[in-house]
Chain A
Amino acid sequence: MIVGVDSVHDLGGMHGFGPVAVEVDEPLFHAPWEGRVWRLLAAVMGSTTIDRFRYTIEQMPPAEYLAASYYERWLWAIEHLAAEQGILDGTDRPARVARPSPSTPTWAGRFNRGDRVRVGNPVTSGHTRVPRYLRRHLGRVERIAFAWPNPGESAATGIYGEAELVYTVSFAAADLFGPAADHSVTADLAESDLEEP
């Protein structure tokens, strides 16, 4: 499957969706199969990364993605990951993938708190966690948040690589969405997705 990064999951700021429907006394699962799918994720997650799980969902054809319920999207991804891992054909388990622990970075980054930064333009056929609505925009570093493996690499390889710094960056919503917007938006962005302004 080859798809571009500009897939339908990248929804932030899109027009045309209506009011947020809030259920009263919402059950944890809306049907028994949803709970089963929720738990079956564990069968494939032990041998891959959270990023590859997300990347797999992102490969759903857009019309299917929008028509599917939340746990249907999980189901689609688990089916694909289980096939990819070969666990539907045999009893062999693929190697376990160790998930990193939360860590505070111990090294200095390219940017410091208060710095102006420009978001990169990570056009790739792979996976990125830079939302489209932030590409090429100027923001300000609020803080160095933590260190974590690069999501694009973790999605491509299915294992966690070397950690890099992740920055919490603040943007004026007026820059993103026009002068009527008076709020700010923050996002957590990998150092490799940020540039000098």
Chain B
Amino acid sequence: MSDLTPAERAEILERHLQDHGHVHPGEVDAAIAAAEAASDDGPSPALGARVVARAWVDADFRDRLLTDPVDTISEYQPQTVPIAVLEDTASVHNVIVCTLCSCYPSGLLGNPPAWYKSFEYRTRVVREPRAVLAEFGVEIDADVELRVHDSTAEQRYLVLPLRPAGTDDWDEQQLASLVTRNAMIGTGFPLPP
């Protein structure tokens, strides 16, 4: 293993790539700044929350989201790989993982959280999802079917969680504020109203 730190190796790599014209100065800074400034117009949990909230209030949109997810999500953000929407119901709870690497619906939700990429999550959630979800504070009733989806190909997944009870008079924007990132992965529920 190299004696250099990752930061030193990254600097050397970037310098070599710049010297030979494969990376332009400023391009990396600009990309990082844009990613860190993510708004709900670009891939981010907030953008995913807008899609989920719309599905809760607009039955036609919900149907299109489930049957034609790539085109429907692309109305918010162009999708470059297939994406499937997993609808939670009173009797089914969905959770997503990538055991082989870190496949995640980044084109909608932005970069995955560190725990999603961790060895602990990748090894355990396919084998003992109820125990893993309990660590997130999520208890799934024994009579609810738990489906774990391993993202082993170029198809990404988005969980469409259940709309929280007591939100009948909430509008789309208010509802979006209840949708957490974990709720769209399956390791959480939307916030209570």
A interface vs B, CB < 8 Å?
A: 9-23, 26, 28-33, 35-40, 42-43, 50, 54, 57, 64, 66-67, 69-72, 75, 78-79, 82, 87-91, 93, 99, 101-102, 129-131, 133, 145-146, 148, 151, 166, 168, 170, 173, 176-177, 181-190
Taking the closest CB of chain B, its distance from the CB of A167, in whole angstroms, is 9
Which residues of the partner chain B approach A19 to less than 8 Å between Cβ atoms? 120, 135
Using CB atoms, name the residue of chain B closest to A28: B36
Interface residues of B in 1-36 (CB under 8 A from A): 1, 6-7, 9-11, 13-14, 16-17, 20-23, 27-28, 31-32, 35-36
4 tightest A-B contacts by CB?
Answer: A12-B99, A188-B153, A183-B146, A33-B7
Contact check, B23 vs A40: say whether CB atoms are below 8 A apart. yes
Selecting from B47-55, B80-88, B162-170, B172-180, the interface stretch reads: B80-88
Minimal Cβ-Cβ distance residue in B for A147:
B82
Report Cα–Cα, A113/B186, bound state, in Å. 25
B193 in contact (CB, < 8 A):
no
Contact A87 B120 (CB under 8 A): no
Which of A89, A90, A99, A187 has the most CB atoms of chain B within a 10 A radius of its CB?
A: A187
A to B CB contacts below 8 Å, 8 in the list: A12-B99, A20-B135, A54-B100, A66-B119, A129-B100, A183-B130, A183-B148, A189-B152
Closest chain B residue, CB of each to CB of A35:
B32
What residues on B are CB-neighbors of A35 within 8 Å?
Answer: 28, 32, 35-36
How many residues of B are counted as interface, with CB atoms below 8 angstroms from the partner's CB atoms?
66
Closest chain A CB from B150 CB (angstroms): 5
Compute how far the CA of A182 lies from the CA of B129 in the bound complex, rounded to whole angstroms.
10
Cα A91 to Cα B18 with chains together (Å): 10
B79 & A102 in contact (Cβ 8 Å cutoff): yes
- Chain A residues whose CB sits within 8 angstroms of the CB of B113 once the complex forms: 22-23, 26
Asked if A13 and B126 make an inter-chain contact with CB atoms under 8 angstroms apart, the answer reads yes
